[in-house]
A and B are shown apart, each in its own frame.
Chain A
Amino acid sequence: EPEVTQTPSHQVTQMGQEVILHCVPISNHLYFYWYRQILGQKVEFLVSFYNNEISEKSEIFDDQFSVERPDGSNFTLKIRSTKLEDSAMYFCASSDSGQETQYFGPGTRLLVL
């Protein structure tokens, strides 16, 4: 069964460093998403992406964040200058239409020291 994959599974970085989180969505899907889950809290929407542009972003998704689909298979989330409060589990998701079920990857646990 096709699945969303994410790398790395864990990332530790120093405050102020840039990190790039990688996702490979399900191959025939067209809509891509990032969510995050701070430890012990609910899962929060960050951004949706379709047709090589951002469809919607939350207030969390400020200028420190960017997304890119650099080729036909990868979808990345970049945090330009990490803060302590960026420590969280980051989930990538994809769907084959904007109104359909989203399938989630296993997540990348990011720890900012």
Chain B
Amino acid sequence: GDSVTQMEGPVTLSEEAFLTINCTYTATGYPSLFWYVQYPGEGLQLLLKATKADDKGSNKGFEATYRKETTSFHLEKGSVQVSDSAVYFCALSDRGSSASKIIFGSGTRLSIRP
């Protein structure tokens, strides 16, 4: 079945460093791809999404490009802040049914040092 694999954490960076969190997916169809973020003690928030190949999702300085040829959707940010410390989940929307379920990766915990 469909699945998402993302890089193991935790990832620890200094403030203003460049961030990449790798994500690859396996899907039989043409899923939509998402990054969700979970701040400490909070629920899941949609960070960005892309619905078709070569689309770039962006929000709050984060970007990810839907790469069909490499089945990837890597998350990047040019200069991270302490407030970006959170768990990041890569996910895809399985369009196999009328109500698409979301399949999540295992999450990557990001910690930013001041």
Tell me the A residues contacting B by CB distance below 8 Å: 31, 33, 35, 41-45, 48-50, 55-56, 58, 91, 93, 95, 98-99, 101-107
Q: With A33-B101, A45-B103 in contact, is A105–B43 under 8 Å at CB?
A: yes
Q: Determine which of A56, A95, A104 lies in contact with B45 in the assembled complex, contact meaning CB atoms within 8 Å.
A: A104
Given contacts A41-B106, A42-B105, contact A49 B44 (CB under 8 A): no
Interface size counted on chain B using CB atoms at 8 A: 24
Q: Which B residues lie at the A interface, using CB under 8 A? A: 32, 34, 36, 42-46, 49, 89, 91, 93, 95, 97-107
Which one of A43, A50, A91 lies within 8 Å of B99 (CB-CB)?
Answer: A50
**A101 and B106 form a contact (CB under 8 A):** no
The contact of A99 among B36, B95, B107, by CB within 8 Å, is B95
Which of A35, A43, A56, A107 has most chain B Cβ within 10 Å? A43
